[in-house]
Amino acid sequence: MDPGDGPRRPFRRDPGRWGPTSPQRQDRAFHAPAPAAPSPSPSPSPASHRREAGRCGGPSAAMRPTPACACGAGACTTPTMEPGRTQDKSERHRGEQSMERAGSPGRRTLLAGGLVGAAVALAGCSAKSEASSAPSASSQARPTTPAAAFTRLMEGNQRWVSGHLQHPDRDPSRRQLLARGQEPFGSVLSCIDSRVPPELLFDTGLGDLYVMRTGGAAVGPVVTGSVEYGPMTSNTPLVVVLGHQRCGAVKAAYQSLRDGKRLPGNLQAIVKALQPAYEQALRESGTDPVDTMARAQVTLTAADLRANQDLAPLVRRGALAVVGAYYSLDTGRVEVLAGAPA
Ligand SMILES: [Zn+2]
């Protein structure tokens, strides 16, 4: 049996813990109707437009075709390159590839959904809208399927393990070309542990990943909403929940729960969030209960995300995979626990 497919636990239905089922959140954001388009306003000057671009156009711009610029002003001529610098042939070609991807049917279909429009409204700035006109400097085409994204990450991890790193797309050119938009191919939820940086252990570049990091990869409404952001606004086809060996947060939570001693301050919130994994570890009664709990936290969280009311439709139609994985500090290798795409 897939360890992530265990029985649903009562606590998971607590709307206070899980964003998508929270009535408050439904009212405010993801399930709100798309905002009405504002009245027309004069086109900004190129200078004022550049000043505004960082804040993007908000909800109205997110729903507006943006043939020239992601900020929503159709007449914008804001350059994507620094003054005096010209694109070389390979950069122009990559930009053309990005534009082709931006117009893919799947992308248009998702854009048409009111759900995405509402999600964009929540963010106040559209990653998708920006990405529609953002060229990509990646040396490889962006993976668009869960399997391709998963393969890309695991290939990067193999390079991390072997030491044959590529350090892709980590230069000023990449930064400049992504400044107006992003379209990451993966989202990683991992621990805050300084030894587990997803961008390094998957050997990815700038703009490749959304990364959420919390102690023990603990989740709550804000974290869950952050995980949802990529799949719902950028067509991100892969979410990885990544636990790791010798997790200090999991160990502290395990000891707190075992001994009935609260941790000080807000650390107790992490303990509370990890309690289901603790209970799962007790049921499994492994030889290393802390490690068992770390793995349980991964599989339970991945299963919940897979069943999440906003992500589950994407999973069902094969547009998204939610993978549970575990990172070895000793070897650097990422082990898949559940949910690897076929
Ligand atoms: Zn940790």
Residue 127's pLDDT is: 52
What distance in angstroms lies between residue 288's CA and the mean position of ligand 1's atoms? 16
Please give the Cα distance from 243 to 257 (Å, whole number): 19
Assess whether pLDDT exceeds 80 at residue 70: no
β partners of residue 213: 190
Residue 285: count other Cβ atoms within 10 Å of its Cβ: 8
- pLDDT, tens only, 181-227: 999 999 999 999 999 999 999 999 999 999 999 999 999 999 999 99
Q: Cα separation of 247 and 295, whole Å?
A: 10
Q: Give the pLDDT mean for 308-333.
A: 98
Determine which of 42-51, 259-268, 313-322 has the lowest per-residue pLDDT on average. Answer: 42-51
Question: Is residue 63 scored above 70 in pLDDT?
Answer: no
- Between the CA of 164 and the centroid of ligand 1 the distance, in Å, is 26
Note the pTM of the prediction, 2 decimals.
0.65
What pLDDT score was predicted for residue 342?
A: 86
User: What are the structural domain ranges in the chain?
Assistant: 29-132, 142-338
Q: In the beta sheet, which residues pair with residue 326?
A: 243, 335
CA of 323 to the centre of ligand 1 (A): 18
Å from CA of 214 to ligand 1 middle: 8
Distance (angstroms) between ligand 1 centre and the Cα of 175 equals 29
- Tokens linked to 146: 């869960």
**pLDDT of res. 139:** 64
Most confident of 86-90, 111-115, 225-229: 225-229
Partners of residue 209 on adjacent β-strands: 186
pLDDT digits (tens, 9 = 90+) for 291-307: 999 999 999 999 999 99
CA of 29 relative to ligand 1 center, distance in Å:
31
pLDDT value at 313 more than 70: yes
Give 327 Cα–ligand 1 centroid separation in angstroms.
Answer: 10
Identify the weakest region by mean pLDDT among 61-75, 81-95, 115-129, 181-195: 61-75
* Ligand 1 centroid to residue 249 C-alpha, Å: 5
If you average pLDDT over residues 256-279, what whole number do you get?
98
Residue-level length of the chain: 342
What spacing in Å lies between the alpha carbon of 277 and ligand 1's midpoint?
14
248 Cα: distance to centroid of ligand 1 (angstroms): 5
The phi, psi pair for 288, rounded to 5°, reads -120, 90
Two tokens, residue 258: 């075992």
3-state secondary structure (DSSP) of residue 42: coil
What spacing in Å lies between the alpha carbon of 102 and ligand 1's midpoint? 36
- What pLDDT, on the 0 to 100 scale, is given for residue 280? 97
pLDDT of residue 201: 98
Tell me how far the alpha carbon of residue 213 lies from the centroid of ligand 1, in angstroms: 9
d(CA 47, CA 93): 28
Report how far ligand 1's centroid is from the alpha carbon of 282 (Å). Answer: 19
Q: Higher-confidence residue: 262 or 71?
A: 262
Task: Answer whether residue 126 shows pLDDT above 70.
Answer: no
Q: How far is the CA of 54 from the centre of ligand 1 (A)?
A: 33
What percentage of the chain reaches a pLDDT higher than 70? 59
Q: Ligand 1 mean position to 311 CA, how many Å?
A: 25
What is the Å distance from ligand 1's center to 294 Cα? Answer: 8
Pairing relation of β-strands 334-338 and 321-327? antiparallel
Structure-model confidence comparison of residues 192 and 39, the more confident one: 192
Please compute the mean of the pLDDT values over residues 29-54 and round it to a whole number.
Answer: 38
**pLDDT greater at residue 99 or residue 161:** 161
Q: Domain spanning 142-338 has what CATH number? A: 3.40.1050.10
